[in-house]
Amino acid sequence: MPVVSRFEIESRQYLDEQGRACGAMPECARDLATLTELYRQMVLARSFDQKMLALQRTGQLGTFASGVGKEAIDVGVVSAMKPEDALLVTYRETTAQLARGVSLLELLIYWGGDERGSNFAVPRGDYPVCITIASHCCHAVGAAYAFKYRKQPRVAVCMLGDGATSKGEFYEAMNGAGIWRLPIVFVVTNNQWAISVPRAAQTAAQTLAQKAIAAGIPGIQVDGNDVVAVRDVALEAMERARSGGGPALIEALSYRLADHTTADDASRYRSADEVVAAWKREPIGRLRNYLLAQGAWSRPEEEALLKSCSEQIQAATQAYLAHPPPQPAQMFDHLHAVLPAAWAWQREEALDGSSHDGSDHTR
């Protein structure tokens, strides 16, 4: 029988678990100034993540999805983007949003339940957090289609989790991106768990990267704890997309070191030994070791960074706690460009606090 086609999935890694170079390093690994800045972003994000958890546990923040363990994926991908590109994220990409310029205060406001936090000053072209699983994949295809139609050299970057690759919206988005050769890069964080469902119970596919093949899209797997590898792969994919080469899918291997959200207890479905083993592969210590070995980082700089992060986060927290809460009428302000008449009277009542049964406003 003739073989009509063959496929393979490349896997890329440059730093081992101890932060030592394994094999020839890419061009971006020699840019120690950029890697140092990425390290700073990762440390700030993890410190902020810890503060967010503390605020939630003390009733000062809503349910929060920790991103601890995926910092290298977020900053590595964002570092390959240009300001005019569009980032579409789920609820676990706080680090990516920080790296794109969303402020600590804006993120606190959003996770405090105030939609005004989505109206971030920078970057205006990025999309708000998508809570529903995989639906933003279709939004990303729409954005990329618009970029191509307008002949703009922009890329839509869609970040999602491994569980989202089992949703129909993901496959529909991949199919559209492939057939239209859109400037879009899908970044799948394979953190091994979709809430309590392990990777092995989600799909029989050997890799998640190979799910791109059926859509005619190149897929690649990368060590998501290795920021050098993530940045290298993302730079290639985005340059290809920006120059008209079409979409790509990146599967970044990682591990969800925290609970799914603050409403979850992961100890009920995974072992402590598994989590301990995963902590040995985490990305921040790996990059720190590499920078120390290259003479690009020092213990005094580490202490100064931690102090600076603490001060920034404390200032943002105080500003958040002092921020006036949203008024009831604001629940109507983020639904429509022009509020339908059937709801307009309700908004007026919310503004003046009066009661009305609404019987004469039925439409």
- Tell me the torsion sign for CA atoms 51, 56, 60, 61: positive
User: 176 with 139: CB under 8 angstroms?
Assistant: no
**Residue 354 predicted with pLDDT over 60:** no
Q: What's the whole-model pTM score? A: 0.93
> pLDDT at position 337, please?
87
Percent of residues, the chain, with pLDDT higher than 90: 90
Lowest average pLDDT, out of 192-196, 209-213, 305-309, 334-338, goes to: 334-338
Positions marked catalytic: 256, 260, 269
Residue pLDDT, tens place only, 113-140: 998 999 999 999 999 999 999 999 999 9
Q: Where are the beta strands (DSSP E) in 90-177?
A: 156-161
Rounded average pLDDT over 222-236:
98
> Which amino acid is present at 357?
D
The span from the CA of 104 to the CA of 255, in Å, is 24
| Neighbouring C-alpha atoms within 13 Å toward the C-beta of 301 | 12
Place 217 in a pLDDT band, splitting at 50, 70 and 90.
Answer: very high
Pairing of strands 193-194, 197-198: antiparallel
What are the residue ranges spanned by the domains of the chain?
A: 11-326, 328-363
Residue from 219, 221, 222, 217 nearest 245 by CA? 217
Residue from 228, 255, 353, 314 nearest 44 by CA? 314
Average pLDDT over the chain, rounded to an integer:
95
The span from the CA of 221 to the CA of 51, in Å, is 32
Cis peptide before 153 (omega within 30 of 0): no
Place 355 in a pLDDT band, splitting at 50, 70 and 90.
Answer: very low
CA distances from 200 to 10, 93, 111, 209 (A): 20, 23, 31, 15
Q: Where are the beta strands (DSSP E) in 121-258?
A: 156-161, 184-190, 193-194, 197-198, 219-223, 248-253
The span from the CA of 137 to the CA of 172, in Å, is 8
Place 359 in a pLDDT band, splitting at 50, 70 and 90.
Answer: very low
> pLDDT at position 266, please?
97
> pLDDT at position 23, please?
85
User: Which residue is associated with the tokens 């469902």?
Assistant: 197
Lowest average pLDDT, out of 48-62, 224-238, 299-313, 322-336, goes to: 322-336
Q: Phi-psi region for residue 113, left (φ > 0), alpha (ψ -120 to 50) or beta? A: left
**Residue 297 predicted with pLDDT over 50:** yes
**Residue 356 predicted with pLDDT over 60:** no
**Residue 361 predicted with pLDDT over 80:** no
**Residue 358 predicted with pLDDT over 60:** no
Contacts with 144 (C-beta within 8 Å, 6 or more apart), sequence order: 155, 156, 177, 182, 183, 184, 247
> pLDDT at position 70, please?
98
Rounded average pLDDT over 9-36:
95
Report the CATH fold assignment for 11-326: Rossmann fold (3.40.50)
Q: Is 66 in a helix, a strand, or coil?
A: coil
Contacts with 155 (C-beta within 8 Å, 6 or more apart), sequence order: 81, 82, 85, 86, 144, 147, 183, 184, 185, 238, 241, 242
> pLDDT at position 362, please?
38
> pLDDT at position 327, please?
85
